[in-house]
Amino acid sequence: QVQLVESGGGLVQAGGSLRLSCAASGRTFISSGMGWFRHAPGKEREYVAAINWSGGSTYYADYVKGRFTTSRDNAKNTLYLQMNSLKPEDTAVYYCAAGSGSYYGPSRYEYDYWGQGTQVTVSS
């Protein structure tokens, strides 16, 4: 059974920072692409960032580019999302996702495993 568990969410003021973690268990993700998505009330779940199996290649949505950074530690089976210069519009539940293969990118339909989400709230 594959499990992804996010942590690190919370309440922060605009301009602040948070670091999300996603711990994977049940299988090794060393060969899997992974992604971050978010879901705000009244909106569709949207893509945030993606990273390839080695961590050597990353992609970001335009609205987080330059502010968010994703990385991974395959020895720890853990994915990270460093979020800086947070804005109220970043408020959402954040999810990590993993695929069964090497895909990493913006399509949520390419990911097979999802965490339960962690709430990020940015106050103005």
Find, among 47, 66, 49, 46, the residue nearest to 58 by Cα: 49
Structure confidence at residue 28 (pLDDT): 63
Find, among 49, 54, 55, 50, the residue nearest to 71 by Cα: 55
Q: What is the mean pLDDT of residues 42-47?
A: 96
pLDDT at 2 over 90: no
pLDDT tens for each residue of 93-107: 999 999 888 889 999
